[in-house]
Amino acid sequence: MAEISDIEEECEDLDWYAVDKSGCIGHFATGGRGFLPRSVKNSSENRLALHSFFVELPVSCASVCTDAAGNNDFFLAMSGRGLYSYDYLPGKGRNLGYSRNCIPTSPLKCEACPEKIQAILKHTISYVLFSQAENVSPQMFS
């Protein structure tokens, strides 16, 4: 498996995914600035497999968005697929974390996904509940 390089991490707007303790799924957009957990950085193929799966899902629910989300249709669409959607926190440094932009009205659970997707998601587990965490930091992931 190909690892995501430091250059890719620092220059590309990468989308990655994690599961929380309750089985809810989070979507994170780096904007070329957000950190990547080691489990995500370890496999470009796994990150792309998750991204392909989630962007192809139909929108299935409404979203509640914060003012920070603005008119970003992508965050709305990801949340409409049942994912809690986060964007990087702007500032100095890569490890500031992410801020939740959109909340799904009907969250998609990991166990509702195909087994292959479940297995990849379980590599990146959040110690907090996405339904409660407005912000997440690097220390909140396994």
Which residue reads 């965050």 in tokens? 75
Q: Which residues pair with 16 in a beta bridge?
A: 28
Question: Could you report the per-residue pLDDT of 1-34, keeping only the tens digit for each?
Answer: 799 988 888 888 899 999 999 999 999 998 888 7
Mean pLDDT of 130-139: 92
Domain spans in the chain, listed from the N-terminal domain onward:
6-134
Q: Where are the alpha helices (DSSP H) in 57-103?
A: 73-80
pLDDT score of 97: 86
Residue 127: pLDDT over 90 = yes
Task: Give the residue from 117, 139, 126 showing the smallest Cα distance to 26.
Answer: 126
What is the dihedral angle through the alpha carbons of 113, 46, 100, 107, rounded to the nearest 10 degrees?
0
Average pLDDT over residues 106-130: 97
Q: What is the pLDDT of residues 62-111, one digit of tens each?
A: 998 886 655 588 999 999 999 999 998 876 555 678 999 999 999 999 99
Q: What is the pLDDT, as a whole number, of residue 32? A: 81
Residue appearing with tokens 């407005």: 134
> According to the model, what pLDDT value does residue 71 have?
58
Q: Cα 121 from chain centroid?
A: 10
Round the average pLDDT of the chain to a whole number and report it.
90
CB 28 within 8 A of CB 98: yes
What is the 8-class DSSP label of residue 125?
A: B
How is the chain split among helix, strand and coil, in percent rounded to 5?
Answer: 35, 25, 45
List the Cα angle 22/49/127 in 5-degree steps: 25
